[in-house]
Amino acid sequence: MLALTLTACGGASNAVDVCAQSACVTNFSDAVYQNGLLLAGGALDLSSGTATERRLGYFSDIYYDPSRKQWWGLSDRGPGGGVLQYDTRVQRFEVDISATGAVSNFRVVQTVKFMQGTQPFNGFAPNPTNVLGRAFDPEGIVINPKNGNLLVSDEYGPSLYEFDRTGQFLRASTTPSGLIPRNTTTSVANFASDTGNTAGKRTNRGFEGLAISADGAFAYAMLQSAMLNEGGGNGIYNRIVKFDVTTGAAVAQYAYAMDKADQGQGISALVSLGNDKFLVLERNNRGIGPGATLATAAKVVYQIDLAGAVDVSGVTLPATGAFAGAVKKGAKGMDLAANTLPALGNKSPEKWEGVAIGPQLANGNYVVVVGTDNDYSVTQNATGTQFDVYFQFTDADPFATSIQCPIGSTNACFFTASNAPTTLTSAYGLLPGVLAAFTAKITAYVSP
């Protein structure tokens, strides 16, 4: 459906070079919103099992494989926050793209579960808590252009795993010891929660973003926010870890400064542009979501540059303040909260998490697809019991007026705010996923 014509220098080998090599400076600019799709909150994937086990979790990350022209959408550890059985998986999907870059007709064409032999990588939190095992909370995905294998980043470890195209585990990269969540006095790790930990990544704040260099030589995994010993919830500096894909060793670390540390601020995606430049999706935890506070949503994509950044592998980062060796952060490239859908009451979803650079259009611009993680439209109470959350999106605060029902059921429902019993009506729906399309000029983009 697309005419793939010219590309900037450093692109695919069969592309036409449209700028002198000396004048090519990788840069992301002129992003224009095209459209957004609402994807049903109750849609099912192509695996077997119950409807709850097959519910699409949508986009913890999105990746476009340009050599195979394939889209991948990653689900995380499943509904339930690590307390429910869920075989982790990734969806290969297709989507139509118009000549202007608008997307339509989303459909899942393959569901791939992550396995080690006959045993699945499961969303259950590690138990015992100091043994990672096959506990898996996948958050970032790329395709190695050298061999087509899947590299997937995980929040529990934090870990970087390699799988073949059938989902079979091949190997794990070596996580730098300083990132392991642990007690520095006892040296005991707790991968399941922050209890007892004094250093390393925070719970649910492991490797969130993942990118790969165009030649497949290096993968870049990014922590969602600051480590426990670098400010924790009050810290603004995240770490980007550069891995040698061949050896699995971490070869460098870089510091990224977030805009702020409050309101759950963190990064959700990392995308390589080539030549040490990347896109970073930074957001807070405001917007429409199960349990989320509505106002005020901040979801921004920045371009960053690693050139000149210092290796902080052996450095303890400050919680706040200036750090001269941090990566260079450019101007705002996309404001995701500024483009809303009437069907969601013109309110931003809480969790914009996936960003992918798609095909090049005939006019030379690229399609940039951004997606939300809808958390399976599930929340839990204080005892860990899971409930589906149904929203009426035209309400001023859809979560405040939402209805909860036992997961997989539409009976025994109650209002979230009051716990008063109620009957679910067609005016309420599960939180959908959102897939939004932008177009942008990317000078000297180097695609994998």
Supply φ then ψ for residue 334, to 5 degrees.
Answer: -145, 135
Each residue's pLDDT tens digit, 230-289? 999 999 999 999 999 999 999 999 999 999 999 999 999 999 999 999 999 999 999 999
How far are the Cα atoms of 95, 115, 331 from residue 150, in angstroms, in the given order? 20, 12, 31
DSSP assignments along 72-131, one per residue: EEE--S-TTTTSS--B-EEEEEEEEE-TTS-EEEEEEEEEEE-EETTEEPB-SPPSSTT-
Say if residues 47 and 66 touch (Cβ distance below 8 Å): no
User: What fold does the segment set 21-374+432-443 form as a domain?
Assistant: Tachylectin-2; Chain A (2.115.10)
What are the CA-CA distances from residue 155 to residues 49, 115, 180, 205, 305 (Å)?
25, 17, 11, 6, 24
Q: How far is CA 141 from the centre of its chain?
A: 8
- Is residue 190 within 8 Å of residue 182, measured between CB atoms? yes
- In whole angstroms, give the CA distance from residue 278 to residue 317: 21
Q: Residue 14: which pLDDT band, with cuts at 50, 70 and 90?
A: very low
Q: Return all residues near 419 (Cβ < 8 A) that are at least 6 apart.
A: none
In the chain, % helix, strand, coil (3-state, to 5) comes to 5, 40, 50
pLDDT in tens, 18-67: 444 335 689 999 999 999 999 999 999 999 999 999 999 899 999 999 99
Q: Does pLDDT of 12 surpass 60?
A: no
* For residue 3, pLDDT beyond 60: no
Query: Is it the case that residue 13 has pLDDT exceeding 90?
Result: no
Average pLDDT, rounded, for the chain: 94
- Residue ranges covered by each domain of the chain: 21-374+432-443, 378-430
Cα separation, 257 vs 261, whole angstroms: 10
269, amino acid identity: A
Measured CA distances, 21 to 9, 10, 444 (Å): 7, 8, 9
Tens-digit pLDDT profile for residues 189-238: 999 999 999 999 999 999 999 999 999 999 999 999 999 999 999 999 99
3-state class (DSSP) for residue 342: helix
Percent of the chain at pLDDT > 70 equals 95
Peptide bond into 296 cis (omega under 30): yes
- Flag whether the pTM goes above 0.75: yes
Each residue of 100-133: pLDDT tens digit?
999 999 999 999 999 999 999 999 999 999 999 9
Q: What is the Cα–Cα distance from 169 to 117, expressed in whole angstroms?
A: 8
Mean pLDDT computed over 85-90 = 96
Write the pLDDT tens digit of every residue in 390-440.
999 999 999 999 999 999 999 999 999 999 999 999 999 999 999 999 999
- Residue 53's nearest CA partner among 82, 83, 81, 88 is 88
Consecutive H or E run containing 53? helix 51-54
- Compute the residue count for the chain: 448
Alpha-carbon span 71 to 63, nearest angstrom:
6
